[in-house]
Structure 1
Amino acid sequence: MLIGEVARRSGVSARMLRHYDSLGLVRPTGRSGTGYREYSGEDIRRIFHIESLRSLGLSLREVGRALDDPDFTPSGLVDDLIRQTLDRIAAETELLTRLRRIGAAEPTGWEDVLQIVALLQALGSDSAGKRQRAALSSAAEDRMPVEALVEAVLSETDPNVAGALRWALARSGDDGLALLAHGLRASQAEVRTRAVQAIAAIGNDTADALLHDALTSTDVAVRRHAALALGPRGVADAVPTLIDMVLAEVNDVEAADALSALADDPVTADRIAAGLIAPLGTGTADPSTRRRLTQALAGIPGGTASRALTELAQDDDRGVALTAVYVIRLREAGGDGGR
């Protein structure tokens, strides 16, 4: 079969067949009566083998080795091809993500595109300083795609950079909340914590609704960050978690401040006081815990808290007793001696 007919039947161009010939991949084994090269049935089968291997991503050199090397082991080559393909997919996926983010920023010209690319590159830098500057710049210029900010804030380990990213993200309003809500369900605990911190920094009704749901999270760190944010905003459902934080000595000063903010409502104040006092009645609270509870009761008005402080002023532990006496005097000076 002459080269033209082989090209028509195989779909491989005559030019490519000649290239195969020059490389020694497929050399026609016969000659026509007029001296033209003819391809045998075996030659044509080899052409199809070459095309099959090329479809897997092999180079022509690798194809030749696969067909001619008696020591060739296909399993090793297939493993290499799998790794190369995965690397290529990852690179293409990263490129696609970058392009989508640039598109989402709605650039009006090449200057905008170049600026966004520069910000994205800086945000992925190994330098914490560059990442922080990118976050601050994106907030000032409002050019960073929200998806990129969310991804960055959920993966950032440097506290200064994380703070800048949360600030930049807060300026975007509700745009990143759906992605952050997904972060609350992440398998990694540190990602869930970063997500709830970022949501708390946004501080609007939609964010508060997410934080309210987070109060029932199975992740205690998520519950605590949500409670610290919601307490000062008047959400009484945060009370149990805040009391737990005082008892556990986890951000207990901040938790006590949040409880004090919630205690403006008399009913809530009595509820808080009862919750703080409850461990005292069991006799299991050690002096350190009793001292923290005393300090927390300082910001809770009402008779329930005042009576508890009077009892604590007689505590066996001198430090607890002195703290209670000091708090009582402050309350009396401030006009809350027992109301």
Structure 2
Amino acid sequence: MLIGEVARRCGVSTRMLRHYDSLGLVRPTGRTVGGYRTYADDDLRRIFHVESLRSLGLSLRQVRRALQDPEFEPATLVADLIRRTEDRLRREQELLDRLRAVDASTPAGWPGVLRIVELLHGLNSPSAARRQQTALTPADTVPVDVLAGAVLTEPDPNVAGALRWALARAGHAGITEIAPGLASEDPRVRRNAVLALAAITGDESTAALTGMLGDASPSVRGPAALALGRRGVPAAVPALVAMIVAGTNDVEAAELLGALAGDPGQAGPILDALVAELAGDTPVRIRVAQALAELPPPVTAAILARLTGDDDRTVAAIAAFAAGRGSSPR
């Protein structure tokens, strides 16, 4: 089979086939009397092998090694190809995100484009100080979707705080852009989304936070419960009690339960939920006793009186102090 027909059948240009020949990758089996290359069926199979390996991203040098070295192990090379492909996709995704951010900002001219690019560089800077400074840029110059993306991935707590403050100024738009982070598989992203919503007031953010009370990760549902507790939302009570039991932000959780118990309709359920946890081990019972001391005295008088005779001296002391002074030692 002559080179022209091989090129048509294999989808490889005649120029590339000659290049394969010069590299020793695919040498035609024979030549015609006139000196033209002729390819046998085995040559065509080798061409397909070369093209298959090239489709995985292998260089021609790597393809030759793979085909000629009987001891060649593909695992390491494939792993390296995966890493390089992931890096390339990440760079291309960053470029796509940057282009979308520029497009969303509807710049009037190239100075506007350059300004947005400068902001993007600032938010992606390896310097936490520069990221924080960029976050504090006037709100009308940073696209909300760019801010939201930065909020969801920012690891530095100080920078994250500045970003949340900046996003909060966007109001409803900030909630819309941050909402996808609530469904992320990464609990760190979900936590960042919850913390961002906690900085935005209004019924919409409250509803979104309420939906996170059932999150599988304590690091997510805890901040949601604290934010809702500060807003006086009764739905946060079970999660706040769980935080006291776990010893996670238990002091703030107890204070919020005390505030929520100021509502006569909530005082009884909160008391019952805490008393039910007195069956736990000693550290849990101590934290529960401290939480009970935060509730209004008329609500807890009976239970505190009973706990003053508790077998655990610390629990008894907390109950006695709260019963006599209206607050607990911390």
TM-score by length of 2: 0.71
Aligned residue identity for 2:98 = R
CA distance in 2, matches of 1:293, 1:160: 34
Deviations 1:12-52 (A, max 9, x none): 999999999999999xx99999xxx977779xx89x88999
How many residues end up aligned between the 2 structures?
318
Which position in structure 1 is the counterpart of 2:290? 291
Deviations 1:258-293 (A, max 9, x none): 223323421112322333344458897644542342
CA distance in 2, matches of 1:200, 1:86: 34
- Structure 1, unaligned stretches of length 5 or more? 330-339
- The answer to whether the Cα contact below 8 Å between 1:287 and 1:320 also exists between their aligned partners in 2 is no
Query: 1:325: Cα distance to partner?
Result: 0.8
- The answer to whether the Cα contact below 8 Å between 1:65 and 1:72 also exists between their aligned partners in 2 is no
Deviations 1:169-199 (A, max 9, x none): 2222233435544433333333332222122
The change in CA–CA distance for 1:70 and 1:278 in structure 2 (over 3 A counts) is: closer
CA distance in 2, matches of 1:51, 1:278: 69
Deviations 1:59-110 (A, max 9, x none): 788899999x899979599746665544433322221122112212222222
Which position in structure 1 is the counterpart of 2:189? 191
The change in CA–CA distance for 1:59 and 1:246 in structure 2 (over 3 A counts) is: closer
Aligned residue identity for 1:184 = L
Aligned residue identity for 1:262 = L
Which position in structure 2 is the counterpart of 1:115? 115
Say which of 155, 158, 161 aligns to 1:160: 158
The change in CA–CA distance for 1:328 and 1:306 in structure 2 (over 3 A counts) is: farther
Which position in structure 1 is the counterpart of 2:143? 144
Which position in structure 2 is the counterpart of 1:272? 270
- The answer to whether the Cα contact below 8 Å between 2:198 and 2:224 also exists between their aligned partners in 1 is yes
Query: 1:10: Cα distance to partner?
Result: 11
Q: 1:169-248 counterparts in 2 under 5 A?
A: 169-178=167-176, 180-248=178-246
Query: 1:125: Cα distance to partner?
Result: 1.8
Which position in structure 2 is the counterpart of 1:97? 97
Query: 1:154: Cα distance to partner?
Result: 2.4
Aligned residue identity for 1:237 = A
CA distance in 1, matches of 2:63, 2:278: 80
CA distance in 1, matches of 2:8, 2:237: 80
2:183 match: secondary structure: coil
CA distance in 2, matches of 1:105, 1:15: 47
- The answer to whether the Cα contact below 8 Å between 2:244 and 2:254 also exists between their aligned partners in 1 is yes
CA distance in 1, matches of 2:148, 2:93: 18
CA distance in 2, matches of 1:8, 1:274: 81
1:184 match: secondary structure: helix
- The answer to whether the Cα contact below 8 Å between 2:144 and 2:174 also exists between their aligned partners in 1 is no
Over aligned residue pairs, what C-alpha RMSD do you find?
4.5
- Structure 2, unaligned stretches of length 5 or more? none
Aligned residue identity for 2:97 = T
Larger Rg: 1
Quote the sequence identity (%).
48
CA distance in 2, matches of 1:189, 1:171: 25
Which position in structure 2 is the counterpart of 1:335? none
1:187 match: secondary structure: coil
Aligned residue identity for 1:248 = A
Asked if residue 305 in structure 1 is aligned to residue 303 in structure 2, the reply is no
- The answer to whether the Cα contact below 8 Å between 2:139 and 2:170 also exists between their aligned partners in 1 is no
CA distance in 2, matches of 1:171, 1:107: 21
Which position in structure 2 is the counterpart of 1:133? 133
- The answer to whether the Cα contact below 8 Å between 1:215 and 1:223 also exists between their aligned partners in 2 is yes
CA distance in 1, matches of 2:269, 2:75: 69
Aligned residue identity for 1:254 = E
Aligned residue identity for 2:263 = D
CA distance in 2, matches of 1:85, 1:234: 49
2:126 match: secondary structure: coil
The change in CA–CA distance for 1:41 and 1:74 in structure 2 (over 3 A counts) is: farther
The change in CA–CA distance for 1:142 and 1:266 in structure 2 (over 3 A counts) is: farther
Which position in structure 2 is the counterpart of 1:337? none
CA distance in 2, matches of 1:21, 1:12: 13
CA distance in 2, matches of 1:19, 1:248: 68
- The answer to whether the Cα contact below 8 Å between 1:123 and 1:152 also exists between their aligned partners in 2 is yes
The change in CA–CA distance for 1:282 and 1:115 in structure 2 (over 3 A counts) is: closer
Which segment drifts farther, 108-117 or 249-258?
A: 249-258
CA distance in 2, matches of 1:221, 1:247: 15
